[in-house]
Amino acid sequence: MRDLRTIAALLALAAAPAFAAADAASADAAPQALPPAFDEVDDVPMPDPDLWSRIRFGFALEPLDSPLVAEQEDWYASRPDYIKRFVDRGSLYLHYIVEQVEKRHMPTEIALLPVIESAFTPKAASRAKASGLWQFIPSTGKNFGLKQTWWVDKRNDIMAATDAALSYLERLHEQFGSWELALAAYNCGEGCVSRAIAWNQKHGLPTDYLSLTRLPPETRAYVPKLMAVKNIVLSPATYGIAIQADGTIKFDSAKFQAALASDPAGTVAAVQTIASRVQAVSATASDPVTGTVTASISSQQTQITNDQSAVSNWTTMLAAKRKLLTAQYTALVTTLGQLQNEQNYLTQQINAMNPSSSN
């Protein structure tokens, strides 16, 4: 009977989930190797030697002659910590947004609009139920294909919301004929701007943005806010602010090690993909002013090469451990199979000695 209890315990051990625990933990733990809101490595744009110079180069809106601009400049200039926060957050998404703005031949001031809307906070929410980087209200979001359910809110999806916002702004620009009026309509709605224009037309007044005194106070300050941010980006030193020219993505060692531990193979693939893209860029990319390959790309290549070496060592070690565990598991299964055969034989012997127990 003691042998039978031992066999039963071993069979119970074989059925336990302990042998699958390591693989399950690896499958459940998702790596954090990419910036938030990007699902694939290829969706992450390569960094620029100076993203801010690229943005400045694309500025196209005329200066706004309004005291409201100066007021907003003073507000931002007196809050350097606030500027640092939105610059740090914006560095995760600005490369992508600027690319999309340039593809549509829109002024790059548009890429700074999330500063006004959300300070580059992807899940920002307002009392008016607006949400996301571009602050879509539910109805406008649905009109531009941003699905909103209990499970998902595409207004918080950086790529989907950016595409929707730029499409909306393009449509508003076509409707009103100026970017200033399009931006005003983005803030308070087409009907709001149309009514303000109609009132001015009725009274024989100009219908440019600054002349629309019937706009809500928030909307009258909206474009000046954007122009103030533009002016600070255009000449930060004038306002006593230092915005770093470096447009690179910082390497986070802790996140890399966490991703490596949870998904070595996936992290290896991600690093190799990024490395190949950096190599392609370094072979052709040059600074538009000096014509020289930037040092930042070379530095990132060196970092990635070091990371690849670390990943290779981890992968080799993991493969050896898996091979050992597989051999041990195979041996255990074989042993358990033999024990089960012995149990069946012993059961038959017991039944033969006690015929009544088999009835």
- Catalogue the active-site residues: 117
Give the sign of the dihedral formed by CA 150, CA 154, CA 155, CA 157: positive
Q: Distance (Å, rounded) from C-alpha 288 to C-alpha 199?
A: 47
Torsion of the alpha carbons at 277, 278, 283 and 287, rounded to the nearest 10: 120
Per DSSP, the three-state class of 316 is: helix
Q: Distance (Å, rounded) from C-alpha 130 to C-alpha 126?
A: 5
Q: Distance (Å, rounded) from C-alpha 52 to C-alpha 358?
A: 86
Give ∠ CA 177-178-179 in degrees, rounded to 5.
Answer: 135
Is-contact 133 161, C-beta < 8 A?
yes
Q: Distance (Å, rounded) from C-alpha 230 to C-alpha 109?
A: 7
Cα distances (angstroms) measured from residue 57 to each of 54, 92, 95, 113, 231: 5, 20, 14, 17, 13
Give residue 47's region: left, alpha or beta (phi > 0; psi -120 to 50): beta
Give ∠ CA 317-44-295 in degrees, rounded to 5.
Answer: 85
Bridge partners, 153 (sequence order): 148
C-beta contacts of 279-284 below 8 A and 24+ residues apart: 281/46
Per DSSP, 209 falls in state G
For residue 96, report the phi and psi dihedrals to the nearest 5 degrees.
Answer: -65, -45
